[in-house]
Amino acid sequence: MKKNITKRKLKRGEVAIGVAITTPSPDIAEMLSNLDFDWFFIDMEHAPLEVKDVQLILQAIESSNITPIVRVPWNDPVIIKRVLDLGAMGIIVPWINSKEEAEKAVKACKYPPNGIRGCGPRRASKYGLDTLNYLRMANEEIMVVVQIETINTVKSIKDILSVKGIDATLVGPMDLSASLGYLGNPDHPKVKEIIYRIAKAHIGTEVAPGIASSVSKIKEHLEVGFKFVNVTSDCDLIIRGGQEAIRIVKRIIHEIV
């Protein structure tokens, strides 16, 4: 089993930059794994990725230094178990609203005596060639990330951060703004105030504060203390890159024709 480079980076207080993988294409994931990202945010919640898609993506990036972290669709130990058995090095659990839900997420990611994860690490253990080593290392190397997306989570933030086994959080600004009554407006001053307060709540804990950010907002998010930061997505890179190319080409056409 590989050592979790991203987890170690966060433990040192460094910033770890991620990109969301939302298309069921191993080719796109493989291309992006050649770039200098620290981790992949492989999204099964809002993207059309099934377990088999996740396996193909993991296989495509196997030779890279990318830490593959999968956002599962729900806080479900069955799907978490299956994804970890494929070789994911971390799990992002959405919609955590209480200390009890956070504890449930941690237990689903850990083998006994720390949790309830079933023992059958198929691909993760190199199909049986590395089973004992994998079982020895898994509880320590696999990251557990809980999402902060609702007002209830904000109210319970201190209790959630006290749960042993959580390595990082991930603020979802869009869902959080909706929960606060500002649907579609994560830049509302009151939403920003709550986000800054969330970052500060991590001070003095061993949990790295994280957020789904963007290239345009990363400066302000880093300045308030976020360390585990998603900055873009495969779709965004394709769409915005294509948009800029078309803009340049059309401007040249207009100048010449």
Which residues are bridge partners to 49 per DSSP?
Answer: none
Give the C-alpha separation, 98 to 121, whole Å.
Answer: 29
User: Are 150 and 95 contacting, i.e. CB atoms less than 8 angstroms apart?
Assistant: yes
- Beta-carbon count within 10 A of 123 CB: 15
Q: Kindly give, in sequence order, each residue whose CB lies less than 8 Å from that of residue 119, ignoring residues fewer than 6 positions away.
A: 111, 135
Cα separation values, 192 from 171, 195, 208, 220, Å: 11, 5, 19, 10
Helix (H, G, I), strand (E, B) or coil at 138: helix
Beta strands in the chain (DSSP E): 16-21, 39-43, 67-71, 90-93, 143-148, 168-171, 210-212, 228-233
Q: Kindly report the CA angle at 204 between 199 and 207, in degrees rounded to 5?
A: 60
Active site residues: 46
Which residues are bridge partners to 90 per DSSP?
Answer: 69, 143
Give the C-alpha separation, 228 to 209, whole Å.
Answer: 6
- Beta-carbon count within 10 A of 116 CB: 15
Q: Does residue 77 have a cis bond before it (omega within 30 degrees)?
A: no
